[in-house]
Every structure is written in C-alpha cells, then in structure tokens.
Chains A and B, each alone.
Chain A
Amino acid sequence: MSFRRFLIKRTAIAALLTLIAVSIIFATLRMLPADPFSGLVASGALTPEQVAEVRAMYGLDEPIYVQYVKYIQNLFTFNFGVSLTQQRPVSEIITPALLNTLVLLLPALVVTAIISSLAGMYAGWNRGSWFEQSSIVATTVFRSVPNFVTGIFLLIIFSYGLGWLPAFGMRSPLANPSGYLDTYLSWNFLKHYTLPFTVTVLYYSGDFLMLARNSVVERMGSEFLMLHRAKGLSEMEQLGRAGRNSLLPLVTYFALRTGMLFQGVVTLEVVFAWPGIGRALVQAILNQDYPTVQAAVFIMAVAVIVMNLVADVAYAKLDPTVDAGDV
C-alpha cells in the first residue's frame, strides 16, 4: 500500500475517533441532572419564563438530536459558542489559556525528550557505571512522585525559602504586557516560567531515560554493532548507530506523550497558579459552563488523537521494515 493511502486511512480513523470522543462528552454533559439555569430558578434570581428565554437563546430547548448535530458542526468548525457564565465567546477564554499551557509544556517536553534520551543512551552504553545507576534512581524518583508534590517542594525551597523565584502566576500582578511577544519574552515571565518548566522536565525525564537506556542495552550485543566496530567506527560513532536504532520507540513515545500532554496539567497549573487550559477547565466545571468545558475537553481529545496519528506516521517513516500497509 502506498504511503498516501496509508495516511488517508489513518486520518479517517483519527477523525472517527474524534467524533466518538466528542459524542461522549456531549452525552455525559447532557446526562447531568441539572443545567446551570435551573440553579438560577431555584435561587429565585430568574423567573421560569426568563429561563426559558435564555435556554432558547443557547438552543437548549431544541430536541436533543438537533442540539447534537449543531454541537458537532460547531465543534468541527472550531465554533465553540459563548460562555454561559462569562458572557463572552468561549474561544476568547480558551485560546490564551491553551497558548499559556503549550508555551509551558511543549518546550519542556522537547527538552526532556532530547536531554533524557541522550543521557539514557549514554547510560545504556556504559552499563553498570556510576552514571547509569544514579541517573536511573534520580529520574525514577521524579517519575513516581506526583508533579504537584515536586512542585510544592521546589516552591518551598526556591520561592519561600531562598526567595529567588516567584511562587505564583505567569507574571507579576503589576505587569501589563501587550501582545504575545511582550508576554512571553520578558525577564519577568522567565522567572515565573522556571519552576513549572523544571518540574515538567524532571517529571518526564524518567520515561525517556529508561526507554533510551533499555533500547541501547538491547542492541549492545547485536551482530550489526559488532560489524560496525569491525569496520573501524569509533566508540561514539557506534553509540550513534545504537542510538539511531533506538530512535523508533523514542519518537513513538514522544508523540504519544505529547498527545497525553494535558495529563496532570490540572494539578500543575493549580499549584503554580498558571493561567492555562487546565485551570480554565476546572473553573468551567465549577461554574457548569458547558460550552467552555466542551471546548477544553475537545481540544485535549483532539490532541491525543492527532498525536497518535503522528506517532503512527513517524513509525512508518522511521522503520524501513514497517510496510505502511501493515500498520
């Protein structure tokens, strides 16, 4: 099968999965016993007539399947509607929050993927060395402790203890930047950025390190490395080949990990009061703000599915023995 056909097939599957995911969100939210407006009636703030009017405005009085079709249409055109509680378009709430989250997590993930993988390869190549042992112990600790615990720990040391770094938010309350450049490329931002970034890097380091180390160890006794050595390749060149042969699981894992990027984002953002999508989601749930919840969950689901697709494609491209048809 040609690579294009493979790609079309995979994309179609991904689209289907997304549809299923958002349908589940829809169903779950509609099955909740109450909507935000019933609360308003109960508290006497609005008369039932007024509520009916508002519900009509949001389309909540239409038959459920019409709501569903509209909902799907809207989501897939990235039209998330208006927030029920904040009276402004959901995209205005979500977009900056998403951006804040990505600015934090993506660089952290890339950095940890590269550094930890290289360290892992080196550790695997020098099996039994002091470096191998200590790097495994250290990264396993970071992996098994929840990220908010590491976060709090770092906060205690560097913010409350040493006072080197701010403990809270993305910039100091007085700063009032205009535009993205101004927001993200400032000294002030960097100081706020350091701790949550470090926590994320540490948290994911163990996975990449172990994966890289194991793949290299697995290849170390292999015949083809022996032949490379017999050809006269230096130690580092041999490690390079072992590394290249270990790339496949690493890249696949990176893509999957990126898809699950939002896992754990809530606690991280709450601990550091980072105005990201995790915090936005928490707030929207508390306020029963459907459209915002839907949008946030939709974005997270799409991320998982898209990154799975990327993982598949990367796999097929990287491993010459994977015939695209088999995937």
Chain B
Amino acid sequence: MSLLEVNNLKITYQTAEEDVHAVNDVSFSIGEQDNYGLVGESGCGKSTIAKTILGLLDDNGEVEAGSVRFKDRDLVDLSEKEWQDVRWEEIAYIPQSAMDSLDPVMTVGSQIRQAIRKHRDDSKSKADERVAEVFEIVGLDPARTSDYPHEFSGGMRQRVTIAMALALDPDLIIADEPTTGLDVIVQDKIINKLLEIQDEVDSSMLLITHDVGVVAETCDEVSVLYGGKVMEQGATYDVFKHPTNPYTMGLQNSFPEVDEFDKQAISIPGSLPELTEEPTGCVFRNRCPFSTEECADGHPPLIANGGQMSACYHHDEAEDMREAATDAETWGIDVAEDRETSGDTGDVILETTDLEKWFKQTQSIMDSFRGAEPDYVKAVNGVDLTVREGEILGVAGESGCGKSTLGEVIAALQPRTGGDIQIDGTSVDDLLAESTKKFRSQVQFIFQDPFDSLNPRQRVKDAVAEPLKIQGHDKETIDRRVRETISDVGLNPPEKYLDRRPAQLSGGERQRVAIAQALVLEPKLLICDEPASMLDVSLKANILNILREMADKRDIGIVYISHDLASLTQIANRLAVMYLGEVIEIGKTREVVRNSKHPYAASLLAASPKTDPSIDRQRVLLPGEPPNPVNLPEGCNFAPRCPKASEECRKADPDRSAFKDGNHEAACYLPVEDVEDELLSSYARQERPEIQSGEEETIEQLGEEA
C-alpha cells in the first residue's frame, strides 16, 4: 500500500490576464521508504505539485480536480489548522535555496528546535538533544547549533535544512531541487548524505529536480514531467536506460557526460508551450522532432510500454526514436563538421603573466594605526594563460575559486594588482591609455544573467546597435552589421526580432541578444562568464554552438568561464582548472579530462552525476571545504584536503609545471596515475566520514570574501 497517492491532479493559477494550467492530470504514487523523483525543466509544474502536497500553494493557485491521498486521507481539503499538524510531523520539506530559506535572525539550532517544539511537548533541553542528534546525522558539528545561518557555507546550510527535515522523523520528505546551485563536489556530498540517511531512517522521499543525473543516481522510481503532464513514468532504471518518450530522450541527451567528446550535446528547439489552456494535442508536439498529424489529437494517454509508462502516440517506434534522438541533427542543430579544432588556432591574442588580483581585507582602525600588514584575499594569484585566435579556453572551478575575478580583470572591468596582460602583443595599460573605446571594441564580456544585462525598454536593434553608436559608425554600417550579427547568433530571420523588447524574448533568445551585443564590434577576445548557466539545459547547447561557430568563423579568442564541466568539455579546446586563485591544471581538454593529473581536477571531473542509471559511480567525498583564501596553507594549497598529500607537499607550493607533458601541466608533485586506485578508493573508505575540523575558519573567511 502506498504512502502517498496523487490522482489526476489538476492545478491552475489565476493571473491578471489568463489562467495558467500548471498541472494537468498528473498521477503517481510513492511507496513506504521509497525514493521518488519528479524531473523536468523549469515551468513543468514540479514545484507546484510539491507545494500542493504540503498545502503551500500560492494564493492564486487552485486544485481544480484530483486528490492527494496521504496515508488514506485526502490532503486537498484540509483546513489551515489541520495542515499545521500534518506539516513537518508527517511531511517535511527541504527547500531549494538553502541560502534564503533559513531565518537570518535566528540561530540554526533554534530554528530546528522551533520545529520540534511546535509539534511535541518537549522541554527545551530535550529538543536541544534532538537538534544535536540530527546535526550529527547530517555531518555538522553539534557545537555550532547556536550559530546564525550566514556563518555557514551554502553546502552546510543545505545540511542544516536536511537536519531540520529529519528532526521529527517524518514519513515523507519533499526535497525541491536540494542541490541546484551547489558546486558538483558539494552536491555529491549532499546526495551521498541524503542516500545514507535514507538507509537509516524509514522516511520516503520525493525528490524534485531538473537534473537527470541526480535522479538517475538517487531515485527508485521517477515521473518525467513536461508542460504539466507526465510524459514518462516508471522505474528509474527503465526510464533512463531505455527511454520510450521523445521528451525523456531529449532531456537526457541534453546532459552530456563530461568525457563524451564524440557526442554532440543536443538541445530541444523552441520554447515551452503556453499553458493558458488545457492541452489539445500532445503538449510536446511543437518541439518534438517525431510529431505527426496524429499528435494533435489530444494529449496521448499514458500507457504501459515495456517496464514503464509513456505518453506518446508513437511509443511502438521507441527504439528507432531513441537511436535518432542521440543525433543532434534530429533536433535541428547544425553540427559543425570539424569540432576538433586542435591544430589550426592562430596567433596568440591574449597572454597573462603572473596575473594577480588581491583584495585587501577590511582592517580595524587600531591595526591600520599600528601599520600592521593587512590580510589579502588572493582571488587571482599568479595566473599565466594564453589564448589564441579561434581558440576557446575553458576555465573551470568551484564557486569562490577566483574564475569570475580572473575574467573581469582580463576585461579590465577591475584593476589588477600585479602581473601583466597583453592583448595581441600590446599591454592592456597601453591599449587603455591610447583609447578605452578601442580597447572595448577588441575585448568584450558576456555576463551570466541575460535578464540583467539587457535594458528592458530597449528594442533588440537598439540594444545591439548601441556599441556601434558609441564607436561612432554611420547609420548604414550600423544597420547592416546589426542584421548580420543578429542572424549570426541564430535569431532568424532578423526582421522578426529587431523590434522586440527583452520581455518578448525567451531566456535563450535574450542571451543570444547579449551575445550579439558583444559580437557586433567584431572583438578579438570574448570573455564569457557562465553565459549558459541561467538557461534551461535543453537550451544550453544552442548557446555553446554559437560560441563555437564564432570562434571558428571569426577567429575570435574566447575565454569561457563556467562551473559546468559538461559544457566546458563540449566547447573548449583547452581547459584550465582553478583552485584558490591558481590554475592548478591546464592542457588540451581531452588530456585534462581523460588523464587528469592534479588530484583536485580529477576529483572535480569525477563528481558529476551520470545520467546512465547502469553506471555505478563512486561519489567524490572530498573532505573539508575550500580553505581560507586569506591565510593560504603552507606548501600546496590543496594539501589539507588532498588524499595523496605527503610531507613534501606541505613544504613548498608546487609550480604549475611540476608535472609537464607537452602543453599539459599540473601543479602537483605526485600526479595522479590512476584515478580509481589513488582517489576514488580513498573516497570509498571515507563513506562514513564526517565532522571535518577546520570547517569553521573556512566559513568565516568565505563570508568575508563576499
């Protein structure tokens, strides 16, 4: 008998203009002690379902039909009073953004205690005992229960919310994107923790995520959602090993594996359907490469197909579709023939030598009176890089490693504190002294967020023309180049887009406009900081393809900064991995990925979840969190966390060329030969680790850095 049964759930939101049919006829059930996954891109209705199960639906949302039966009781019609007893006692919740989900003016311990004492008549000290207990379960130091949320790092805050969810031994825990926004290594540790807890306590879990890899590695059963409909449902293994629905195939294939070089990432063309009415045909049909006329006859019913259920009229052709779906051309993506642009890159366009950016820490006046040497945050600490024409250099690293600062310093958006930058053989200082305008026309920057970087009142043509106007071109040239560039970034035909404003564009289109804005001046060097990370997975591949094409066609050098390793390996000729302000490994992308030499780079690359459920991956349980970027450890920066560290490592900082094989360099005395033996096995032994000492100082520092 199942714990939770969702039957034919229909939910609409009322908005000023039209109703949004966010969830249409969704059914699934979760058994006792089960891990159940809901997966799909943003806007498919995942959170709406989660909120309905918790009775937290927004005020303008309404359950139109269907039921949510929890332990044989219908939750939909509970009064607010009845809800208060169900919540947390029986159904607990792990929110997406642990950063904002904890009350900033309450210690983490008292927030958990509050949850306990709301439902139990426990004394304060008894509740505190439980708080310490759950802290220990999630691997946090119980001595820190009286700290405030801001004193914890992102990963640790997520542990706090998990501890909170465990406090009352609920029957069901709903986790809404619990690892989204965390770095892969932190994500891996959190997932490991969730699964470990699953083994020990007897709660069921409903895991909601857009990341196919995360569900594939954690859930027993799954529903794939699209446009408020279940597209495919069944055992996770079946669904992702042999997907039978075109949407599942598309979604899964848009998560390329880090080391799959020969496979072109796909993206699903088009954008989400308007949910202003109940679907009249298959919800996926305007983006589905296999759609036929039949597909317009109402949404297909969910019917058994092999081990799983699929909603598709062509389910009997699943095998052929699966084959075709791995081919990017099926999804309308032009595959650049020669993706291995190994040899034919041109002259050096960017060269940095010993580049440094140190931020001075605020000091007490007493100390500055005494003339004490201030502390520095060494965000970029001695970085040597070169980028050639037509080359894409990928820069990878976890948040806080200094990669964004590096990009901004190169683009002269921030002054550097040491070292030199040369663009096309001329020092940046000379270029800037000569003419800032000229420098800006040669070096362009694309920001992460397409929503912030465009002026909401500017039409596309004006936004793209602006840099040309500043440079003082005549009207005719401006018109011609604006059209060309808009067409180059894949907004075709340009006429369709020229007069639109940002609000009339989708996220992917907006980011293309931002790229057009950067490209219109025909720069020699383009620096992109996470240009695709705000976009849904199914749109990422397009942006990557455009950048790759620009590098090839226009001979631009590109620095592509990202924490997303899969997109980096898809696009970059060479890859640099940063840790605490230094490049610790650099080389041809394939070399660095297949044959990582630095233990940190190797761990990072091994930490991405796999979308193939048949692969049993060892989780990367790298101890600790990045140490204090202020007082760097003696010797190798990575030594405090490195499974291979020896005496030698703690004495002197290894040079980047400590390991050298052609252009492949790694700052490590004991380069990795065999990832499995040397690293993963040590992580496997760690499987039951915890309370890492040293975490405290780390966090304080990370806080100050911001």
- Interface positions of A from 221 to 266, Cβ below 8 Å from B: 222-224, 226-235, 237, 241, 244-245, 247-248
Judge if B196 is at the interface, Cβ distance under 8 Å.
Answer: no
Q: Given A226-B56, A233-B118, list of 9 further CB < 8 A pairs?
A: A223-B100, A224-B102, A226-B95, A226-B101, A227-B101, A230-B54, A232-B85, A321-B148, A326-B362
Judge if A163 is at the interface, Cβ distance under 8 Å.
Answer: no
Interface 0/1 of B443-476, CB less than 8 Å to A? 0000000000000000000000000000000000
Q: Given the known inter-chain contacts A231-B115, A234-B84, A320-B148, please indicate yes or no for A224 contacting B101, CB distance below 8 A.
A: yes
Interface bin, chain A: 20 to 34
* Closest A residue, CB atoms, query B97: A223
Contact (Cβ within 8 A) A5 B101? no
Q: Given the known inter-chain contacts A1-B364, A320-B148, A325-B362, please indicate yes or no for A231 contacting B88, CB distance below 8 A.
A: yes
Contact (Cβ within 8 A) A318 B161? no
> Which residues does chain A contribute within 8 Å of B84, judged by CB atoms?
232-234
Other-chain residue from A1, A230, A323 in contact with B88 (beta carbon distance below 8 A): A230
The 10 closest A-B pairs by CB, nearest first: A320-B148, A232-B87, A223-B100, A223-B101, A230-B93, A231-B115, A232-B84, A321-B150, A1-B364, A224-B103
Q: How far is the CA of A89 from the CA of B362 in the complex (A)?
A: 49
Contact (Cβ within 8 A) A325 B364? yes
Q: Given the known inter-chain contacts A223-B95, A231-B115, A232-B85, please indicate yes or no for A320 contacting B366, CB distance below 8 A.
A: no
Q: How far is the CA of A318 from the CA of B365 in the complex (A)?
A: 23
> Which residues does chain B contribute within 8 Å of A223, judged by CB atoms?
95-97, 100-101
Other-chain residue from B95, B150, B365 in contact with A320 (beta carbon distance below 8 A): B150
Contact (Cβ within 8 A) A5 B364? yes
CB distance from A254 to the nearest CB of B (A): 17
> Which residues does chain B contribute within 8 Å of A1, judged by CB atoms?
364
Judge if A319 is at the interface, Cβ distance under 8 Å.
Answer: yes
Pick from B83, B105, B148, B150 the residue with the most CB of A within 10 Å: B105
CB distance from A244 to the nearest CB of B (A): 6
Judge if B80 is at the interface, Cβ distance under 8 Å.
Answer: yes
Judge if A9 is at the interface, Cβ distance under 8 Å.
Answer: yes
Q: How far is the CA of A112 from the CA of B88 in the complex (A)?
A: 38
Q: How far is the CA of A66 from the CA of B104 in the complex (A)?
A: 54
Q: How far is the CA of A319 from the CA of B150 in the complex (A)?
A: 11
Judge if B126 is at the interface, Cβ distance under 8 Å.
Answer: no
Q: How far is the CA of A285 from the CA of B350 in the complex (A)?
A: 72
Q: How far is the CA of A252 from the CA of B519 in the complex (A)?
A: 48
* Closest A residue, CB atoms, query B365: A9
CB distance from A226 to the nearest CB of B (A): 6
* Closest B residue, CB atoms, query A244: B105
Judge if B594 is at the interface, Cβ distance under 8 Å.
Answer: no
Contact (Cβ within 8 A) B87 A231? yes
Q: Given the known inter-chain contacts A229-B56, A232-B89, A232-B119, please indicate yes or no for A320 contacting B105, CB distance below 8 A.
A: yes
Other-chain residue from B96, B118, B150 in contact with A231 (beta carbon distance below 8 A): B118
> Which residues does chain A contribute within 8 Å of B100, judged by CB atoms?
222-224
Contact (Cβ within 8 A) A227 B93? yes
> Which residues does chain A contribute within 8 Å of B85, judged by CB atoms?
232
Judge if B353 is at the interface, Cβ distance under 8 Å.
Answer: no
Other-chain residue from A235, A237, A244 in contact with B80 (beta carbon distance below 8 A): A235
> Which residues does chain B contribute within 8 Å of A321, judged by CB atoms?
104, 148, 150
Judge if B114 is at the interface, Cβ distance under 8 Å.
Answer: yes
Contact (Cβ within 8 A) A245 B87? no
> Which residues does chain A contribute within 8 Å of B93, judged by CB atoms?
227, 230
> Which residues does chain B contribute within 8 Å of A237, judged by CB atoms?
118
Q: How far is the CA of A320 from the CA of B93 in the complex (A)?
A: 25
Q: How far is the CA of A248 from the CA of B105 in the complex (A)?
A: 10
Other-chain residue from B87, B102, B704 in contact with A230 (beta carbon distance below 8 A): B87
> Which residues does chain A contribute within 8 Å of B114, judged by CB atoms?
231, 233
Contact (Cβ within 8 A) A224 B119? no
- Interface positions of B from 69 to 90, Cβ below 8 Å from A: 80, 83-89
* Closest B residue, CB atoms, query A224: B103
CB distance from A230 to the nearest CB of B (A): 4
> Which residues does chain B contribute within 8 Å of A222, judged by CB atoms?
100
Q: Given the known inter-chain contacts A232-B87, A232-B115, please indicate yes or no for A227 contacting B102, CB distance below 8 A.
A: yes
> Which residues does chain A contribute within 8 Å of B106, judged by CB atoms?
241, 244
Interface 0/1 of A174-211, CB less than 8 Å to B? 00000000000000000000000000000000000000
CB distance from A212 to the nearest CB of B (A): 16
* Closest B residue, CB atoms, query A245: B105
* Closest A residue, CB atoms, query B367: A1
* Closest B residue, CB atoms, query A324: B364
> What are 28 A-B residue pairs whose CB atoms fall within 8 Å in the complex?
A1-B364, A5-B364, A5-B366, A222-B100, A223-B95, A223-B97, A223-B101, A226-B56, A226-B101, A227-B93, A227-B95, A227-B102, A227-B161, A229-B56, A230-B93, A232-B86, A232-B88, A232-B115, A232-B119, A233-B114, A237-B118, A244-B105, A318-B105, A319-B105, A320-B150, A321-B150, A323-B704, A325-B362
Q: How far is the CA of A233 from the CA of B85 in the complex (A)?
A: 9
Q: How far is the CA of A231 from the CA of B161 in the complex (A)?
A: 11
Q: How far is the CA of A29 from the CA of B10 in the complex (A)?
A: 78
